[in-house]
Amino acid sequence: MKRVRGSLIAVAIAGAFAAGAAQAQISDNVVKIGVLSDMSSLYTDLAGAGSVAAARMAVEDSGIEKRGYKVEIVSADHQNKPDVGSAIARQWYDTDKVDVIVDVPNSGVALAVNQITRDKGKAFLVSGAASSDLTGKACSPNTIHWTYDTWMLANGTGGAIVKTGGDTWFFLTADYAFGHALERDTEAVVLKSGGKVLGKVRHPLNTQDFSSFLLQAQASKAKIIGLANAGGDTTNSIKQAAEFGIVKGGQNLAGLLVFLTDVHALGLPTAQGLILTNTFYWDQNDQSRAFAKRFAERDKGIHPTMLHAGVYSAVTHYLKAVEALKSDDGTKVIAKMKETPTDDPLFGKGTIRADGRKIHPAYLVEVKKPAESKGPWDYYKVRATIPADQAFRPLKDGECPLVK
């Protein structure tokens, strides 16, 4: 009896090896992509379910499944809590055999997942989080920061505003990793260009009422009120600033991170004239418009934000690397991704640096006036293109230990 069982096991093991040979080193034969995002709170529309849809579209468009690979997408809600996000990441890596985590809006959660991914030797493709620390002192051989970061936003929007005379600033900052990073990077740009920071106030994430903070900003007499926050916090700040007559009183708002969905939520009468920086706008060319059309059909009519586009682009490049290596080993795939130039319909040609920073151009855009817009989602006109080699922080300034 014992012998029979033993030989059965041997057969089973042999069978497993035989199946494995066809799939080389794909762990448990499935490339499993985990989309970890905010599915229920203030960042849902700008990432959330749309990021899952974008990942799925990337898998379909890659055609990888027709070539014999199995790809599975799972998703979860991190609730903007680093502890919840960490617990999900651990469970995904340890028991659910997830190979790569993508998106993760909220820098607090992303920094936690960044560390876990590194410890477990998996792969992490950040589209949603903004903190430039992800390619700075927290950089990792297992992480690529795809879409944008706080340095890029600060330099794009902050730099442009200081140049046009906005040289005194007051910051309204979301009180967590992202807000702090965005404030720090923008302050550096302002000071470097000869401007001054007159004050700052740090509000809790997901605040409803900004009137107290706006009064403080008003009293500071700064020319520019820099909004170092995102999502619902930004829309509420902008809306209430209009109510309190901030712009009429001669001060201007700088939305340091404004997404297409935020502009949609505010409506053009309130949002017109805002200047912002992003790396993707759906109405750029035929390819991006085609993508937007397909995307909107899957995400309740929402047109893709740069985060959605980033998820699509990152997953596309990831799958290319997996196929080239015939492996989904996190560390190896990320290394392969870095050495291969990127090319996809949304961001065009680009590269990935040693510190994990994906490089592509950024666009300084202005929100259209209601009369200029042809309809919903027609919101931006591009004022300037920041070339890829200037859009992101120079490699040497990042203090990333991987760069020697």
Partner 1 sequence: MQALFGQLLVGLINGAFYAMLSLGLAVIFGLLNIINFTHGAQYMMGAFCAWFLLNKAGVGYWWSLLIAPVVVGAFGMLIERTMLARLYKLDHLYGLLLTFGLALIIQGLFRNEFGSSGMPYQIPTELAGGLNLGFMFLPKYRAWVIIASLAVCFSTWYVIERTKLGSYLRAATENPALVQAFGINVPRMITLTFGFGVGLAALAGVMAAPIYQVNPLMGADMIIVVFAVVVIGGMGSIMGAILTGFGLGVVEGLTKYFYAEASNTVIFVIMVIVLLIKPAGLFGRER
Nearer to partner 1, 233 or 328 (CB): 233
Nearest-approach distance from CB 128 to partner 1, in angstroms: 14
Nearest-approach distance from CB 290 to partner 1, in angstroms: 23
Nearer to partner 1, 107 or 207 (CB): 207
Nearest-approach distance from CB 41 to partner 1, in angstroms: 6
Q: 307: which 2 tokens?
A: 């985060």
Nearest-approach distance from CB 124 to partner 1, in angstroms: 24
Nearer to partner 1, 172 or 256 (CB): 172
Residue 348 region by backbone torsions, left for phi larger than 0, else alpha for psi between -120 and 50, else beta: left
Nearer to partner 1, 42 or 257 (CB): 42
Q: Which among 200, 51, 149, 212 is positioned nearest to 397, based on CA atoms?
A: 149
Q: Which among 320, 365, 324 is positioned nearest to 343, based on CA atoms?
A: 320
Nearest-approach distance from CB 267 to partner 1, in angstroms: 4
Asked if 114 and 138 touch (Cβ cutoff 8 Å), the reply is: yes
Nearer to partner 1, 275 or 302 (CB): 302
Nearer to partner 1, 26 or 225 (CB): 225
Q: Which residues contact 167 (CB under 8 A, 6 or more apart)?
A: 190, 193, 194, 195, 196, 223
Nearer to partner 1, 164 or 208 (CB): 208
* CA–CA dist 365, 333 (Å, integer): 34
Q: Kindly list the residues in this chain that would bind partner 1 in the complex (CB under 8 A).
A: 40-46, 48, 175, 201-204, 206-209, 211-213, 215-216, 218-219, 231-232, 235-236, 239-240, 243-245, 249, 261-262, 264-267, 269-270, 300, 302
Nearer to partner 1, 240 or 351 (CB): 240
153 CB-contact burial (10 Å; exposed 0-12 / middle 13-18 / buried 19+): buried
Residue 362 dihedral angles phi and psi, to the nearest 5°:
-125, 160
Nearer to partner 1, 134 or 309 (CB): 309
Nearest-approach distance from CB 205 to partner 1, in angstroms: 9
Supply angle C-alpha 363, 334, 137, rounded to 5: 70
Nearer to partner 1, 46 or 315 (CB): 46
Nearest-approach distance from CB 248 to partner 1, in angstroms: 9
Nearest-approach distance from CB 103 to partner 1, in angstroms: 15
Nearest-approach distance from CB 262 to partner 1, in angstroms: 6
Nearest-approach distance from CB 42 to partner 1, in angstroms: 6
